[in-house]
Amino acid sequence: GFTFFHGFLGDMMDDYWTHLRGGINWMRLNKKTITPKGHATEVFSRWAIEYMKKQAKDKTKPFFLYLAYNAPHFPIQPPEDWLRKVQKREPQLDLKRATNVAFVEHMDHEIGKVLDAVVELGIARDTLITFSSDNGGSIPHAATNDPWRGGKQ
């Protein structure tokens, strides 16, 4: 089991800004219901970095961090500035594809912030990082799964 929990008690959110699922707030700090502000991907990154900063103070004590983003699961909701950036860079994309690209790029950026923190905290040499994804892209949201056939329905 875990001795500390800061996150979402569920599989997916109905909205990345309100953090609700079925009208219920499943965000928790241990057993306490909390109402964080901001896009869920950014919130989770911030919490992960805060946790690492606290744990890294004692370099003799190892720690485990499990960071599970809800992104890029439905609903596909990148921050507006990320969508505008993708649309400016790739104007040929239709809105559905641009939205999906922005959502994944935003998550990638947030993962980069967490990885940067590992280096900045001086713990990279003694840190093992595993990245995994649970499925392919959603065809209805203009994702591509090349070179594989099909996708998540």
Backbone angles phi, psi at 4, to 5 degrees: -145, 135
59 domain residue, yes or no: yes
List the one residue out of 99, 77, 79 whose CA is nearest residue 87: 99
Query: In the structure encoding, which two tokens stand for residue 87, read together?
Result: 């649309």
Backbone angles phi, psi at 40, to 5 degrees: -55, -40
7 domain residue, yes or no: no
CB 104 within 8 A of CB 112: no
15 domain residue, yes or no: no
16 domain residue, yes or no: no
Q: Tens of pLDDT along 26-77?
A: 999 999 999 999 999 999 999 999 999 999 999 899 999 999 999 988 899 9
Cis previous bond, 72, omega within 30: yes
Amino acid letter for position 101: V
72 domain residue, yes or no: yes
As a whole number, the mean pLDDT across the chain is: 91
Distances (CA, A) of 127 to 3, 117, 138: 20, 12, 32
Please report the pLDDT score of residue 150 as a whole number: 62
8 domain residue, yes or no: no
| pLDDT reading at 91 higher than 80 | yes
Distances (CA, A) of 115 to 61, 98, 107: 20, 25, 12
pLDDT tier for residue 142 given thresholds of 50, 70 and 90: low
Amino acid letter for position 89: R
29 domain residue, yes or no: no
Domain that holds residue 77: 39-141
The tally of domains found in the chain comes to 1
- Rounded to whole angstroms, the Cα distance separating 33 from 27 reads 6
CB 143 within 8 A of CB 136: yes
